[in-house]
Amino acid sequence: MKIKVALVRCDSYDRDKVKAAITKLIDALGGFEAIFAERKACGVTLPAISSDSPLILKPNLLAKAPPEKAVATHPEVFRAVGELLRERGYSSITYGDSPGNPVLSTEKTADGCGIKAVADELGIPVGDFGSGREVEFPQARASKRFVLCNEIADNPYGVINLCKMKTHQLERITGATKNSFGCVFGMNKAAFHARFATPETFARVIADLNRLVVPRLHIMDGVVAMEGNGPASGEPVEMNVILASLDPVALDATFCHLIDLNADLVPTQLACMEAGVGEGREEEISVIAIDVPMIPDGKELTLDEVAAKCGNRYFDVQRGKDYRGRFRVLGPFAKLLEKKPHIVRGRCVGCGICVETCPLEDKAILMGPDRKPVYDYSKCIKCYCCQEMCPEKAISVKKSLVARISDRRWGV
């Protein structure tokens, strides 16, 4: 049987519309009882979840940014899921994420994203994301130990992943599988970036994490997505969809199809498939369409069919074959495809967050005499942590002309 992804058209964050859309998604997947039944995934048996089992809502809270910036999961998506769970009797719910900036608490970040206010209204407390502990994972392929936030370490099979549809400089996209990185506690995230510096090795860490922490349901907020310089400094773009699945790899494969990105070029997709996290092959996935014009509700579509109806082939994402991946063999010609972070000096306010965030002991970015940062590209591992965390969108990614051409879809 094919892996199911449910997709609903939703053209605004109007409270009632979002709730109706998410209700339909949950129903399309069989309802909470079926979703939370005991099942096998990632080589483990996930226990059944009952109404008093602890559940963790894990939105993407990368940085303190208002909802219209499309950096974090929209508060109305959070509200709809929280309300539905409450209405169906689930009583023990917390929420949280470990933000990109380790100095900021989860609560403060959630406040800046509009999620705290909604959580307070619903009586959903923030979980323990302010401390962490080491968890061994001997069967891992990349990292045999993780320092997880305590809330997650206590309940690794009770997470509902509320991810955001965005681009990512290192992994091309951040959707369902990549959102697991916020389960890692504080500064340990930077240490992973320094240790696993290439897109491929970092993707293997994400795959390990998705086998250690196995969410019960993945819901992707794509009403307004982020394109371009994601995951924090890109541009909001209407995609008008919300998606849900029990399989994060199938969900990300659908996202790739919607934006006309070859999923075989997405390192997290390849690593997660190799590790058995989920199914990314398009012939094994079917998309249950809801509220899609001219399509009867519940009809199952192929990924090509759903992309034709709901996709955006001009979505700004890295489509070219990155030299750091399979084109490493290009040697000196790899420079033709080079990308690197770059300071937009007019926007920089000299806060120094980029320097703090650089995971290298011997920093590749330092404040210059004019209180604006300067790169040492000979040290830079191109992890883009600095770009992710700049609150002023003052770090862009400079691409060579060839890289720009290979990333574009030309509309004529």
Interface with ligand SF4 (CB under 6 A):
341, 343, 348-354, 357-358, 360, 364-365, 373, 375, 380-386, 390, 392, 394-395
> In the bound complex, what is the minimum distance in angstroms from residue 192's beta carbon to ligand SF4?
12
> In the bound complex, what is the minimum distance in angstroms from residue 400's beta carbon to ligand SF4?
17
> How many H-runs (helices) and E-runs (strands) does the chain carry?
14, 17
Collapsing DSSP states into helix, strand and coil, what is residue 411? Answer: coil
Whose Cβ is closer to ligand SF4: residue 31's or residue 350's? 350
> In the bound complex, what is the minimum distance in angstroms from residue 190's beta carbon to ligand SF4?
8
Whose Cβ is closer to ligand SF4: residue 24's or residue 382's? 382
> In the bound complex, what is the minimum distance in angstroms from residue 350's beta carbon to ligand SF4?
5
Whose Cβ is closer to ligand SF4: residue 210's or residue 233's? 233
Whose Cβ is closer to ligand SF4: residue 8's or residue 395's? 395
Whose Cβ is closer to ligand SF4: residue 204's or residue 339's? 339
Cβ neighbours around 251 below 10 Å, total: 29
Whose tokens are 């936030």? That residue is 149
> In the bound complex, what is the minimum distance in angstroms from residue 202's beta carbon to ligand SF4?
11
Whose Cβ is closer to ligand SF4: residue 148's or residue 354's? 354
Category of 298 on φ-ψ map: left (φ > 0), alpha (ψ -120 to 50) or beta: left
> In the bound complex, what is the minimum distance in angstroms from residue 371's beta carbon to ligand SF4?
8
> In the bound complex, what is the minimum distance in angstroms from residue 235's beta carbon to ligand SF4?
17
Token representation of residue 309: 């109806």
Q: Which of 406, 363, 400, 408 is nearest to 385 (CA)?
A: 363
Whose Cβ is closer to ligand SF4: residue 301's or residue 395's? 395
Whose Cβ is closer to ligand SF4: residue 194's or residue 295's? 194
> In the bound complex, what is the minimum distance in angstroms from residue 255's beta carbon to ligand SF4?
24
Collapsing DSSP states into helix, strand and coil, what is residue 141? Answer: coil
Category of 294 on φ-ψ map: left (φ > 0), alpha (ψ -120 to 50) or beta: left
> In the bound complex, what is the minimum distance in angstroms from residue 144's beta carbon to ligand SF4?
24
Token representation of residue 126: 């923030």
> In the bound complex, what is the minimum distance in angstroms from residue 226's beta carbon to ligand SF4?
17
On whether the CB atoms of residues 374 and 411 are closer than 8 A, the answer is no
Whose Cβ is closer to ligand SF4: residue 260's or residue 356's? 356
Helices 248-258 and 303-310 pack at an angle, to 10 degrees, of 50
Whose Cβ is closer to ligand SF4: residue 9's or residue 166's? 166
On whether the CB atoms of residues 160 and 56 are closer than 8 A, the answer is yes
On whether the CB atoms of residues 230 and 169 are closer than 8 A, the answer is yes
> In the bound complex, what is the minimum distance in angstroms from residue 340's beta carbon to ligand SF4?
8
Query: Distance of CA 298 to CAs 17, 287, 290, Å?
Result: 18, 9, 6
On whether the CB atoms of residues 306 and 258 are closer than 8 A, the answer is yes
Q: Which of 348, 387, 344, 395 is nearest to 193 (CA)?
A: 387
On whether the CB atoms of residues 119 and 143 are closer than 8 A, the answer is no
Whose Cβ is closer to ligand SF4: residue 126's or residue 348's? 348
Torsion angle in degrees (nearest 10) through CA of 336, 348, 230, 171: 50
Collapsing DSSP states into helix, strand and coil, what is residue 206? Answer: helix
Category of 313 on φ-ψ map: left (φ > 0), alpha (ψ -120 to 50) or beta: alpha
